Amino acid sequence: MTQEYIISLKNLCKSYNTKENLTVEALKDINLDVKENDFICIVGPSGCGKSTMLRIIAGLETATEGKIIYEGRELQKPTKDIGMVFQDYSLLPWRTVLDNIALGLEFKGVSKNKRLDIASRYLELIDMTRFGKAYPYELSGGMQQRVAIARALANDPHVLLMDEPFGALDAHTRILLQKELLRIWERNKKTIMFVTHSVDESVYLADKVIVMSRNPGEIKEIINIDMERPRDRGDIKYATMTSKILKMLEVS
Amino acid sequence: MSKAIRNTITSFIVPILFIFTWAIFATKLNNPMILPQINQVLNNFVHATDDFIGLGSIPRNIIVSLIRVLLGYCVGVIIALPLGIFMGYKESISNLFSKFINTLRPVPALSWVPLVLAWFGLASLATFFGVPYGPKQVFFDNFKFAMIFIIGMGTFFPVVSGAAFGVKNVPKTLIESAKVLGASNRDIFFKILIPAAGPNIINGLRGGLGSAWGCLVAAEMLPGSLSGLGYLITHAYELARTDLVVTGIICIGVVGALLDYIFVVVEKRRFSWLGR
């Protein structure tokens, strides 16, 4: 049997009780199929459960109901095949850039020489060879996030989950990193699931945009973005697409 | 002038002013019972190796006190450090101990003396190891369990709090990002939690050492004590030798500050990544 999809979410539900004993449905009946090497963006208002969805796929939270099928098998616990990049970079401040990138390899038990070798290659990929011995506090936010991306990629995951990775960056750095992410993705194909609250970001990056609504957190619409990369923000098609998605979000 | 030199000069201003004020008051009062003259105290340091009021030389007393503090400190740290780390790591362990510890924390070490004496009596390292009577026995008899207990008590609280706070407050995303990268629980404990909590743990250890010194005088007031800086001070007080009291105070302060400086160096070397 050939696997058409690398990840499928089947009737995924997540609810929890607040302190006032109200039940919040963070996710309700999420069904989503993701093809290998697709770049998926998930947009939605805050509280629509988009981050929760990623966290469940990463194995950091458990679903109340439903399941995740990964490469034909039900996903039960965190797997090294699925990497994640967080909004706050979460680099280990006491390690140099190179040792941070090598972290996942260290957990895997790769020998020191080999993992530094691999880490150096990813350092090159993010164009930061000069900074291998620097500590995170010496880097700007944009550079820290590039290191975090390299760290996730060095583990060679099949799927890369990105939870608002550029949310804390200034507009200029953000655009640079979007370009860079696409460049890396084109050289080093992965399935990417990218959560953002920026509609522009999603239209710029994704093959498919998943639009979500809140209370309960549901998938409202899945939109294919059939535009050549690199995309031109001045293009009329780009603008139409952006305003279409923005309208959907307004109604929700 | 370089910044380092300026900082050094600045740090000497207050001590020099203090010594001046002391000198003026000591001369005006002219009563060594209330305030000894500076030269009397200096004289004690010049003749540091003399036998003072039958208690031996100043270096000898410093060494006895230092060993006592370090023994008590080690005992305190050996218990407090793992306990604190596990309290920070597991909420259930924290729930089990934290109320109990918080109730004992405000109790001054000195108030344990009557009980501690009843428990340990005059037992010392010499009695424990059965050292035969002689100069060796006199030396080892200085290290009484009662004192070690009191100093260990003083060490315990800052160390346990520092470790528990440090481990508990490790940013959650550091742990989560390690999990996603495939870290085992063991990896998370040794490669994330402990190094991330390092600065707070060291802070606790530093506070614990300060507190251990603070308990020294109390510990050395215990019966059976025949030497040490704390005892030197109490005995000098009984003989109205305030110059010796001040000498003892200066020794405790300087040795304590030097020990504290070890932590300053460790922090500079190991925690440069904090970027301060």
pLDDT digits (tens, 9 = 90+) for B93-123: 999 999 999 999 999 887 888 898 899 888 8
Is-contact A143 A131, C-beta < 8 A? yes
Beta bridge partners of A215: none
Rounded CA gap, A214 and B108, in Å? 56
Chain A nearest CA to B182, separation (Å): 5
Residues from B contacting A (CB-CB < 8 Å) are 171, 173-174, 176-184, 187, 191-192, 195-196, 198, 271-275
Tokens at residue B20, please?
A: 């001046």
Is-contact B212 B155, C-beta < 8 A? yes
Q: Which residues, at least 6 apart from A131, have a Cβ–Cβ distance to it below 8 Å?
A: A97, A123, A138, A139, A143, A147
Query: What ipTM is given for this predicted complex?
Result: 0.89
**Residue B181: C-alpha distances to residues A129, A179, B9, B177, B248 (Å):** 22, 25, 50, 6, 56
Instruction: Evaluate if residue A1 carries a pLDDT over 50.
Output: no
The band of B174, judged by pLDDT with boundaries at 50, 70 and 90, is very high
- For B190, the closest chain A residue by CA position comes to A107
* Chain centre distance of CA A110: 25
Domains by residue range for chain B, with CATH: 47-275 (1.10.3720.10)
What count of other Cβ atoms lies within 10 Å of the Cβ of residue B84? 32
Contacts of A137 in chain B (CB under 8 A): 273-275
Q: Any idea what the Cα angle at residue A77 is, between residues A72 and A81, rounded to 5°?
A: 60
DSSP annotation string for A204-241:
HH-SEEEEEETTTTEEEEEEE---PSSPPTT-HHHHHH
Instruction: Evaluate if residue B183 carries a pLDDT over 80.
Output: yes
Rounded CA gap, B42 and B250, in Å? 11
| pTM (predicted TM-score) | 0.85
Instruction: Evaluate if residue B150 carries a pLDDT over 50.
Output: yes
Q: Which of A86, A104, A137 sits opposite B173 (nearest CB)?
A: A86
Instruction: Say if the Cβ atoms of A82 and B180 lie within 8 Å.
Output: yes
The band of A224, judged by pLDDT with boundaries at 50, 70 and 90, is very high
Phi, psi of A24 (to 5 degrees): -105, 130
